[in-house]
Amino acid sequence: REVVVDVASRQVRFGAESLPVTVPATAHDALTSGRWDPIGELLEARDAIHSRMTALGWV
């Protein structure tokens, strides 16, 4: 029997059955967007973050 895990619609289907799945928003976003490393994203955007912080007077 085939089991289909539909991450985008948060459903698991098997045969005639369809069940809703509860997934934390952060996990759902990571799985559907392909972004797995929020710390890496922050490090890559270091210059832009520093510029914004300076513009806001935080630095």
* Cβ proximity of 9 and 21 under 8 Å: no
Residue 36 backbone dihedrals phi, psi, to 5 degrees: -115, -15
- pLDDT at residue 36 in the model: 81
Helix (H) or strand (E) holding 47, with range, is helix 46-55
> What is the model's pLDDT at position 8?
94
Which residue reads 């510029």 in tokens? Answer: 51
Question: Which pLDDT band holds residue 57 (cuts at 50, 70, 90)?
Answer: very high
Domain tally for the chain? 1
Tokens in use for 59?
């630095």
Domain range for 23:
3-55
- pTM, two decimals, is 0.55
Q: What is the pLDDT of residues 6-54, one digit of tens each?
A: 999 999 999 999 999 999 998 899 889 888 888 888 999 999 999 999 9
Q: Confirm if 21 and 10 have CB atoms less than 8 A apart.
A: yes
pLDDT score, position 40: 87
| DSSP tag of 30 | H
